[in-house]
Amino acid sequence: MEAAALRDQAMHDTIAYDLVESLTMEVGPRSAGSPGDKAAVVWAVEKLKSLGFENVHTEEVDVPHWDRGLLNANIVAPFPQSLVATSLGGSPGTPAEGIEAKVVRVEGLVGLRALSDDDLGGKIVYVDHEMQRAKDGSGYTAASRIRSCAHYIAAERGALATFIRSAGTSEHRVPHTGSMLNNDIPPTIPAIALANADADMLTYQMQSGKPVSMYLLSTARQHPREKSANVVGEIQGQGDLAHEIVLLGAHLDSWDLGTGAIDDGAGVAIVTAAAKMLLDSGNAPRRTIRVVLFANEEFGLDGAEEYARKHTASVKDHVIGLEADFGAGRVWRFSSQVADDALGLVDAIHALLEPLGLQRGKNKASGGADLRPMRKAGMPVFSLTHDGTYYFDYHHTPDDTLDKIDRDDLNHSVAAYVTVAFVAANIMDSFGRLEPNTRRKRTCSAEDDSWVS
């Protein structure tokens, strides 16, 4: 079967939707280290085996286990109101009696950095920043940087707790959680995200000119670390190139508030469905197709880093990586990061994607978070960018549930992934190698412009 035929067949398949339905309805929330995480690993092994993949196995990953506990956040004065909010992943809790303090509002990290210990010592800091809606999700870069850095900068200046406006675009009264970790520095003060509507309320009260104080009680805490696993399944290649690997990735974990449908049940479904179509096409691929469902993307990329460590010796055999982790919207752009002399090959793949309406992106694709450690070690990557216009309405919220997934949009994505995977696994040419990237980790300093989400 040829790439174009597989592409067209994918538009009428049911496997991807069936997979994300099964994962969200049977397992549901699966944050790192939780019972749901362990259930997801069992689910994935059984599913990959029953679909007929070869060499199905787990690769153990050590993960943190954080529990958000209960949260009570109120404006005490000038106009008492209770707030819809949630802890950011990794936040410590408050003392048992809670924290009550005056609030200082700042706009973004620039506003926060401009204040001193005298301004912030003993206060609750509220960092306001409205995330911009964009098809390519570009507004998330600034918003997620605030999520990761605000508490760290505020704690250095003696603040007691940080509130941020959610890194998300939802108009519903739901807060967006997400990781607050950076550079392995343990957070020291509670960090909380407000629903957009509640951020508006707090901003309004701050702008009244009257002193604003808040009360916060949180029982969030860290449990001992747990074992999780990357789940792997393959279609063995045949012939001279069988030792080479086309890596298809997505992450199995999710945040705990929703059922992890768009993040990243959709990605699990898309890459697994694309590989299943190749498996069923009747012809063994030249290269081995390896599906990796990564552990703990959301809360520290442990699965991705463990994969890169474990497979150091075979990094050079990973000829290309492709990951699905940007929701269930239609794919609209195909971009790459391959050696310059392989760009003609990228053009040829793009020609097969044009009937799906895909634009050709630059040769600067990140490939996605779970492929980052392998990309830094030299593995070329592709990115199929999904339409992210509405992704951040649901991302990391209780609204991330199956009903947000449209079957036709999901199949359209599978069509793009199966096309790319088929060509990558069967052409004789290679995508070259990337220069290993040894750039230091991103930091929260004002000078660091290397931040990417």
Angle between helices 407-426 and 15-22 (to 10 degrees): 110
Q: Which residue number, 255 or 431, has a Cβ lying nearer to Zn ion?
A: 255
Piece in contact with Zn ion (CB under 5 A), picked from 108-116, 166-174, 259-267, 352-360: 259-267
Q: Which residue number, 99 or 304, has a Cβ lying nearer to Zn ion?
A: 304
CA distance linking residue 77 with residue 86, whole number of Å: 20
Q: Which residue number, 176 or 287, has a Cβ lying nearer to Zn ion?
A: 176
| E strand residue ranges, 169-243 | 191-194, 213-218, 221-235
**Residue type (1 letter), 429:** D
* Shortest distance, position 264 Cβ to Zn ion, whole Å: 4
CA distance linking residue 427 with residue 16, whole number of Å: 26
Q: Which of 253, 263, 393, 399 binds Zn ion (CB under 5 A)?
A: 263
* Shortest distance, position 341 Cβ to Zn ion, whole Å: 32
* Shortest distance, position 157 Cβ to Zn ion, whole Å: 32
Piece in contact with Zn ion (CB under 5 A), picked from 5-13, 53-61, 124-132, 262-270: 262-270
The secondary structure of residue 179, as a DSSP letter, is B
Give me the DSSP letters along 435-449: PP--PPPP-SSTT--
Q: Which residue number, 234 or 323, has a Cβ lying nearer to Zn ion?
A: 323
Q: Which residue number, 234 or 298, has a Cβ lying nearer to Zn ion?
A: 298
Q: Which residue number, 256 or 263, has a Cβ lying nearer to Zn ion?
A: 263
Q: How many residues bind Zn ion (CB under 5 A)?
A: 3
Q: What share of the chain is helix, strand, coil (3-state, %, to 5)?
A: 35, 25, 40
* Shortest distance, position 325 Cβ to Zn ion, whole Å: 4
Across 391-404, b (16+ Cβ under 10 Å) vs e yields: bbbbbbbbbbbbeb
Sign of CA dihedral 35, 294, 16, 168: positive
- Using CB under 5 A, which residues numbered 306 to 335 contact Zn ion? 325
Piece in contact with Zn ion (CB under 5 A), picked from 122-130, 263-271, 283-291, 336-344: 263-271
* Shortest distance, position 262 Cβ to Zn ion, whole Å: 9
Helix (H) or strand (E) holding 71: strand 71-77
Per-residue tokens: 128:
């306001």
Contact pattern for Zn ion over residues 274 through 313, marking x by CB under 5 A = ----------------------------------------
**Angle at the Cα of 299 (from 295 to 302), degrees rounded to 5?**
45
Per-residue tokens: 114:
């401009």
* Shortest distance, position 244 Cβ to Zn ion, whole Å: 27
Contact pattern for Zn ion over residues 209 through 248, marking x by CB under 5 A = ----------------------------------------
* Shortest distance, position 395 Cβ to Zn ion, whole Å: 8
Q: Which residue number, 263 or 387, has a Cβ lying nearer to Zn ion?
A: 263
| E strand residue ranges, 252-315 | 288-294
* Shortest distance, position 121 Cβ to Zn ion, whole Å: 36
* Shortest distance, position 399 Cβ to Zn ion, whole Å: 15
Terminal-residue alpha carbon distance, the chain: 38
Q: Does residue 264 interact with Zn ion by CB under 5 A?
A: yes
Contacts of 171 (CB under 8 A, 6+ apart): 196, 197, 393
Q: Which residue number, 125 or 369, has a Cβ lying nearer to Zn ion?
A: 369
CA distance linking residue 430 with residue 434, whole number of Å: 12
Q: Which residue number, 93 or 137, has a Cβ lying nearer to Zn ion?
A: 137
* Shortest distance, position 297 Cβ to Zn ion, whole Å: 5
Per-residue tokens: 370:
């779970």
The secondary structure of residue 313, as a DSSP letter, is G
Piece in contact with Zn ion (CB under 5 A), picked from 234-242, 264-272, 275-283, 341-349: 264-272
- Using CB under 5 A, which residues numbered 332 to 371 contact Zn ion? none
The secondary structure of residue 397, as a DSSP letter, is S
Q: Which residue number, 264 or 306, has a Cβ lying nearer to Zn ion?
A: 264
CA distance linking residue 257 with residue 29, whole number of Å: 7
Contacts of 13 (CB under 8 A, 6+ apart): 273, 277, 411, 414
Binding site for Zn ion (CB under 5 A): 263-264, 325
